[in-house]
Structure 1
Amino acid sequence: MSLKAKMIVDKDFAISEIDDRIYGSFIEHLGRAVYNGIYEPGHTTADENGFRGDVLGLINELQVPIVRYPGGNFVSGYNWEDTVGPKELRKRRLELAWRVVETNQFGFNEFVDWAKKANTQVMMAVNLGTRGIDDARNIVEYSNHASGSYWSDLRRSHGYEQPHNIKTWCLGNEMDGPWQIGHKTAAEYGRIALESAKVMKWVDPTIELVACGSSAIGMPTFPEWEATVLDHTYDHVEYLSLHQYYGNHENDTPTFLARSLQMEDFIRTVAATCDYIKAKKRSKKKMFLSFDEWNVWFHSNEADRKMDPWQIAPPQLEDVYNHEDALVVGTMLIAMLKHSDRVKMACLAQLVNVIAPIMTSNGGGAWRQTIFYPYMHASVFGRGKALVPLVQSDKYDTKEITDVPYLESIAIHNEEKEEVTIFAVNRHLEESLPFEIDLRSFGSATVIEHIVLESDDLKAVNTELQPNRVVPHNSGNATADGLSIQASLPKASWNVIRVKV
C-alpha cells in the first residue's frame, strides 16, 4: 500500500500554553530508586550528601521540572517523622507496601536537598492511609512555616533555618485500590481528603493540592470514584490525579502502539467528570489534571513475584525497556500534550531504576534506557504552546482498537525561540511514512534538525555493557519547501522535527 500522512497547524489555533510540570517524574521508596539509585554514599561519583553525580548528570539532561515523592504505595504507611533528624536515631521499619526493610537513612530533608541539586521542584505526598488530618497539617508546618512553632522549630533544629516552601502536595495515593494500605471507599477518602486539605491550607494558603483519582481506567469504580471524591473536595483542591501503565503482555505490538488512544479516552472521561461536578456545584472553577503516574510497566512482573521479602533496596520493578516501549512512551507524551489544556502536571513513573529511563549498577555505572530519549526530547524541546493538530493519516485496526492512525503527532510553538517542534511517531512496523507538515500561518520555515529514534529490532535494549544500542540520530530527511515541511518517517520510529519560523 502507498502510505501518506499530513498535518496542518496554525499558530492562532493553540490548545494551551504547556505547563512545564507536564514533564515531571517520580521517586518512590521502592526497590533501588533511592538507595543505589539517586543515593549511594561511597560511590565514586557521590557528593558529600551521598547523591550520585552520574545520575544527577543524566537527570539534568532530562530537565525534569518537578518530582513526586515519597510514593506511591509507600506513602500510605509513611511516618515522615522517622526520616528527619540525626540519622543514627532513625528507626528501621517493615515497609508493607513493597515488603522490604526501610532504613530511613534517606529522608524528607535529604530529598529536598537532592531536588535542589537536580534543579527540580518537589511534589510531596501525605499519608492518608494509616494517618490523616493531624499528620497532614504537621508536615506542612514542618516544611513551610518559617519559625516560632513546634514543627517549624524542629526543622530549624535539624539544620534547615529557612522553610522548604513546597507548593504542590498530593492527598494520598491510589486510595481506590484494595492493595493500598488504608484503602477507602470514595466517600471515606473524599471526607478525609477534604478535611486534610482544609487544615493544610490553613497552615499555608499558598499551596496547591492534588486529590486522588482512580488508579487506572480499568478500576471497577471508575469514574464514579472521581465524581464522589470531587463532590467532597472540589472547592479545596486544584488537581485530580490519573494513573495508567501499559504493557505488551500478548506480544501484540500494533495494539501496544495504539494504547495512547485509550489514554486519551481516559483523559477525556476524567475531564468530563470534573466538568459535571463543576456544573453540579455551579462553580466557576476549572479542575485541572495531574497525570502523576504513567509509563510502560510489565517486563519485571514475573521476577517481582519471586522476590524474597524484607530485604533492603532489592531490585524491584526493574523493567528493561526496548525500542517499541520507547515508541509507546512517545505516543503517551503526545497524548498528554494534545490535552495540555487540562493536563497541567504529569510524572513519568519512575526516574531511576524502578520502571525508569535511567538505570544504575550498585557501585558501577549509570546509563540511558530507550525510553530516556522521547522523554528528554519532549522535555527539552516541548516548551511553549501546543497547537491543534489537524491530521490526515492512513489507519489500521487491531483486535481491540480500530481506526488507529499510523501517524501520531503534535506541534509545539515556542514564540520566544521562534521555533516549531513536531513530535511524530510512525506506528507502521514495515513501511516508512511520507509526512507533510503545513505551516501556512508562520510566514517562513527552515528545518533546524530532524532527530530520529529507530531500530531494526523492536526488542533491542540498552544495557550497561551496550548503552548505545538504541540511540537517536539527527540524520532525518525533513526539508522545507516554502511553508511546507516534507519528511519520511522511518518504520516504527520516534521523530523530532525542529523548524525555525
Structure 2
Amino acid sequence: MATFTRIPDGETPVIDVDPSRRVAKIDKNIYGGFLEHMGRCIYGGIYQPGHASADTHGYRTDVLKSLQTLDIPVLRYPGGNFVATYHWQDGIGPRESRPTRPELAWEGVETNEFGTDEFLHWLTVLGNCEGGVGKWTVEPYFALNFGTGTLDEALAWVEYCNGKGNTYYANLRRKNGREEPWGVKYWALGNEMYGPWQVGQLNAEDYSKKAIVFAKALRLLDPSLVLVLCGETGYSSWDFEVLRSCIPYVDMHSIHIYTASSDHMKNVSAPLIAERAIEATAAFIDVARIENNIAPTKPRTTICFDEWNVWSPTRAPGNLGAEEKYTLSDALAVGVWLNVFVRQAKYMGMANIAQSVNVISPLMTTEKGIVKQTTFCILELFSRYMRGWTVHTHVRGGVYTGDTEPAWLKGVQEEGINTLDVSATVGKDGWVSVAVVNMDENKDVEVDLKIGGAVEGGVETHTVTGENVNVVNTEEEEVRIAEGTWDGKGKYTFKKHSFTLLRWKSDEKIVGSE
C-alpha cells in the first residue's frame, strides 16, 4: 500500500517508510513463472537433448541454474492458448508412441515429446525435491482444456496426477514410472475463454455454467484442489459476471494484462493499470460474496494474475515465437509491475510472469549459452528480497501529466503519475526492503528518505540502470545489478531511469509466522 502527495517543482521529494506499519502478508506465489508449449519455451528452452549443457534427461542445466536464482515458488503449464486444443494423454507413456499434432494456437506442430511427467519431473530437479503433496519447493499449476477438452478428460488428468488408490489412471501413472501421486494442487478452469482468438470461445454465461459443472466434479474427486476461475483483465464485465456466478466454487480468479509502448514514459507507467485492475477485481469479489451469501468464515477468493509482462505482439508476434529484446525501459516497467503486486498483497494469491524462458522472457537461450535480459535483474531482486509483509509508504514527489497507454490510465491518476514508484516490505528478521523506480528519463532525484525505527548498521544498495532507456542486454550484459552501501544519513539520490533496492536491518519485532 502506498499513498502520494504531489509537491511543487523545486521542493525536495520525500519517501516515508515505517516498518511498524505492516499492511498485509505477501504470498510468495506472486513470484511465479509460466511455461507454455509456444515458440522456444519448452523445446530449445528448458528441454534440448544433445545440447552441451543438457543432462541425461535433456534438461538444459544452464537454464535450471539461472531459474534457481529466482526462487520460483510455482510454475503454470502447459498454457496459455496452447491448452485449448491440448490433450494431455498425447504426452504420456513411451515417447515413440506419442502422436504429433497440429498446434492451432501458435500455428505450429506439437511432438508431445515433453508432457505431464517430464514437466513434473523437471520441477523436482528445479526445486531439488521429490515432488508430491507437501514436498514441492516449486509447485505445479496446470490449466485445463476448456476448448476441445471434456470433463472426463479433466477428471482423468487429476486422477493421473493425484490418484492414490487402485484406479485406472493412477495405475497408468505408476506404469509410466511414478509410484507416488504427484500432488498437483493448482488447476485453472480454462484459459482466456472470452477471446475470439480462443478455440472454443464462450460467452460469460456459458463459461460460468461449464466452470461450475467442472468445479463440482473435480472437488468430488479431490477436495484439496485449488481451482482458478478464468477472468479477463480484472476490470471487465466478463470478470464481474463469472465471479457473480462461480464464486462459491472457486478459490482464485485469474486476470491477464500485457503492457508495452515505444514511448518511455507511456511504457514505464503502463503497469499502473494493473493496480486498478486488482482493485476492481477485489471489489467484484466482495460484491459476488455478498450476493451469494458467502459465509465470512470461508476464505476470500484471491487474485491470480497468471499472465503479466511487457509484450508488444506487433513487435514480437506470438506465431513467430514472441521473442522480445527487452530494453532498460522495459526493465523499469517490470519494476513497476512488481511494485504493484507488493502494494496490493492483500488481494494477491499468485502472479506468473509470462513466460519464463525465451518467449517474452527475462531469460534467453542460445547455442552458446544463455542471455539474462534487462528484466531478469529486476525479477531477481524482487524474488530475493521483497518478501514478508508489505509496508505502508507515503511519497511526496513530482508527477508526469502527459499521455498514457492506455489513455484511460491518465484519467484515474487524479494528481498525475508519481514518477517515483515505490513499494516496501519487512521480513520476520526485521530486514526492510524498499524498491524505487525513478521513471524520469533525464533527471536524478534527490530524496529525503524518512525511516521509521532504528537502522542497525548501514543500508545496502542494489541499483539497475544503464546509459539510456533503450539499452539492451547481449552476452555482454550492459544492464546488471550494481551493489553498494549508504550510511542512511541525509538524502539519497535515485539516478535517472533507474531501479534501486535499499535494504537495512531494523529493530522491528514481528510476532507470527513468516
Note whether the superposition's TM-score is higher than 0.5: yes
* 1:337 correspondence with 2:342: yes
Deviations 1:405-427 (A, max 9, x none): 111111110122x2001111001
- The sequence identity of aligned pairs, in percent, is 34
Deviations 1:135-163 (A, max 9, x none): 22111110001130011001000000010
Match of residue 164 from structure 2: 146
Deviations 1:217-272 (A, max 9, x none): 6xxxx522112212232111110001110111xx3211222112222111111111
Trace 1:490-501 onto structure 2 (pairs within 5 A).
490-501=495-506
Match of residue 434 from structure 2: 422
Match of residue 368 from structure 1: 372
Q: Distance in 1 between matches of 2:11 and 2:146?
A: 52
Q: Distance in 1 between matches of 2:254 and 2:486?
A: 38
Tell me, what secondary structure is at the counterpart of 2:384?
A: helix
CA shift in 2, pair 1:93/1:436, >3 Å? same
Displacement of 1:450 in angstroms is 0.4
Match of residue 379 from structure 1: 383
Match of residue 482 from structure 2: 473
* 1:261 correspondence with 2:262: no
CA shift in 2, pair 1:90/1:404, >3 Å? same
* 1:62 correspondence with 2:89: no
Displacement of 1:444 in angstroms is 3.2
Displacement of 1:58 in angstroms is 0.3
Deviations 1:265-318 (A, max 9, x none): 1111111111111111121242210000000001x635638x6xxxxxxx6000
Trace 1:106-125 onto structure 2 (pairs within 5 A).
106-119=114-127, 120-125=138-143
Given that residues 133 and 192 in structure 1 are in contact (C-alpha distance below 8 angstroms), is that contact kept between their aligned partners in structure 2? no
Deviations 1:168-212 (A, max 9, x none): 111110111110111100111111111111111111111111101
Trace 1:90-109 onto structure 2 (pairs within 5 A).
90-109=98-117
Match of residue 243 from structure 1: 256
Match of residue 224 from structure 1: 237
Displacement of 1:396 in angstroms is 1.8
Structure 1 runs (4+) deviating above 6 angstroms are: none
Amino acid paired to 2:73: P
Tell me, what secondary structure is at the counterpart of 2:488?
A: strand
Q: Distance in 2 between matches of 1:78 and 1:134?
A: 14
Q: Distance in 2 between matches of 1:408 and 1:277?
A: 32
Tell me, what secondary structure is at the counterpart of 1:254?
A: helix
Q: Distance in 1 between matches of 2:451 and 2:157?
A: 50
Given that residues 91 and 113 in structure 2 are in contact (C-alpha distance below 8 angstroms), is that contact kept between their aligned partners in structure 1? yes
* 1:389 correspondence with 2:393: yes
Given that residues 445 and 480 in structure 1 are in contact (C-alpha distance below 8 angstroms), is that contact kept between their aligned partners in structure 2? no
Structure 2 segments unaligned to the other structure (5+ residues): 1-8, 128-137, 405-409, 507-514
* 1:164 correspondence with 2:182: yes
Deviations 1:86-109 (A, max 9, x none): 000000000000010000000011
Given that residues 93 and 102 in structure 1 are in contact (C-alpha distance below 8 angstroms), is that contact kept between their aligned partners in structure 2? yes
Q: Distance in 2 between matches of 1:302 and 1:357?
A: 16
Tell me, what secondary structure is at the counterpart of 1:9?
A: strand
Amino acid paired to 1:494: F
* 1:447 correspondence with 2:458: yes
Given that residues 3 and 434 in structure 1 are in contact (C-alpha distance below 8 angstroms), is that contact kept between their aligned partners in structure 2? no
Amino acid paired to 2:483: N
Q: Distance in 2 between matches of 1:433 and 1:113?
A: 48
Deviations 1:14-56 (A, max 9, x none): 2211110000010000000000100000111111110000000
How many equivalent pairs are there?
476
Tell me, what secondary structure is at the counterpart of 1:353?
A: coil
Q: Distance in 2 between matches of 1:499 and 1:124?
A: 38
Deviations 1:456-477 (A, max 9, x none): 221111123x2x11112114x6
Kindly report the root-mean-square deviation, in angstroms, between the aligned alpha carbons of the 2 structures: 1.6
Amino acid paired to 1:439: I
Given that residues 160 and 172 in structure 2 are in contact (C-alpha distance below 8 angstroms), is that contact kept between their aligned partners in structure 1? yes
Structure 1 segments unaligned to the other structure (5+ residues): 308-314
Tell me, what secondary structure is at the counterpart of 1:30?
A: coil
Match of residue 54 from structure 2: 46
1:359 maps to which of 355, 359, 364? 364
TM-score w.r.t. length of structure 2:
0.90
Q: Distance in 2 between matches of 1:342 and 1:451?
A: 28
Given that residues 5 and 407 in structure 1 are in contact (C-alpha distance below 8 angstroms), is that contact kept between their aligned partners in structure 2? no
Range moving further from structure 2, 204-213 or 350-359: 204-213
Amino acid paired to 2:385: F
Q: Distance in 2 between matches of 1:153 and 1:325?
A: 47
Amino acid paired to 2:440: H
Trace 1:263-412 onto structure 2 (pairs within 5 A).
263-283=274-294, 284=296, 285=298, 286-298=300-312, 301-302=314-315, 304=317, 316-361=321-366, 363-400=367-404, 401=410, 403-412=416-425
Tell me, what secondary structure is at the counterpart of 2:265?
A: helix
